[in-house]
Amino acid sequence: MEATALSFFIAAVTAAGFGIAIAAFGCGIAQGIGLKAAVEGIARNPEASGKITTTMLIGLAMIESLAIYALVVALILIFAHPQAGAIAALLGGAGH
């Protein structure tokens, strides 16, 4: 029982770590592509800077919200897991 509880907790922490890593990887690539295109556009046509910036702002906000979602899910898995109380009780009970 103790081993099962421990493996559950390890799996939750591993999932949180991999989750935020994959999210950061994807969002980093997406933001990089967006920023590259925006900078190229501004370099070609500096007068369109305002238009490009405002359009990119909306795209970056959408991408960034995905990273924040992943962060929240990772933090929930580590600190606010719905089963955390039961698992802690199980571990505490097994410890005594």
Partner 1 sequence: MNDSLEERLVKHVVYANWAIFVLASSVGLYLTPAPFAMGIICGGLITVVNFHLLSRTLQSALDPRPGAGNGAVVGKYYLRFLVSGALILALLVFKIVHPIGLFVGLSVVVAGILMALILELKYVFSKEAR
Please tell me whether residue 42 binds partner 1 under the rule CB under 8 A.
Answer: yes
d(CA 8, CA 22): 21
Q: Is 49 in the site for partner 1 (CB under 8 A)?
A: yes
Decide whether 51 or 88 has the Cβ nearer to partner 1: 51
Confirm or reject binding of residue 54 to partner 1 (CB under 8 A): yes
Contact (CB, 8 A) for 5 and 87: yes
Judge contact between 9 and 87, C-beta under 8 A. Answer: yes
Which positions lie near partner 1, rule CB under 8 A? 38-39, 42, 46, 49-58, 60-62, 64-65, 68-69, 71-72, 75-76, 79-80
